[in-house]
Amino acid sequence: MLLLIGLAFIFTNGGNNVGSTINENNVSIVNGKQIIDLTAKGGYTPMKSIAKAGLPTILRFTTSGNFDCSAFVRIPAMKVAQSLALSGTTEIDLGSPKPGLLQGMCGMGMYPFEINFQI
């Protein structure tokens, strides 16, 4: 019984929106640069983002007392492996990405996120 309750808690994400798959209008253009905002804590929110290809792009992570594995981000296709601030923001310059899917994850590979760059 306890196992079923635990699984229900995991699959409902404990009632919070961490790991949300909904694009929450987290992409903006400021001074000619595209900013993609993600929150990192127990995963990445939102898990899926849609952005424009070909624009100078900054991936900005916001953390607040983050001590889990999402405090370290990896983006293998771009050879990015970086620790995030325990609390605050960390920006990663992605250059001007080509169209396609860019996938990232936490340091342990447990928490994925993806950005679909479209024309």
Q: What is the pLDDT of residue 23?
A: 60
The length of the chain in residues reads 119
pLDDT in tens, 25-52: 899 999 999 999 999 999 999 999 999 9
For the chain, list the domains and their CATH numbers. 17-118 (2.60.40.420)
Handedness of CA 92, 79, 24, 10 (dihedral sign): negative
Residue 24 has pLDDT above 80, yes or no: no
Q: Model confidence over 73-87: pLDDT tens digits?
A: 999 999 999 999 999
In sequence order, which residues have a C-beta less than 8 Å from that of residue 6 and are 6 or more positions away?
none
User: Prior bond to 46 cis, omega within 30?
Assistant: yes
Helix, strand, coil shares of the chain, percent, nearest 5, are: 15, 45, 35
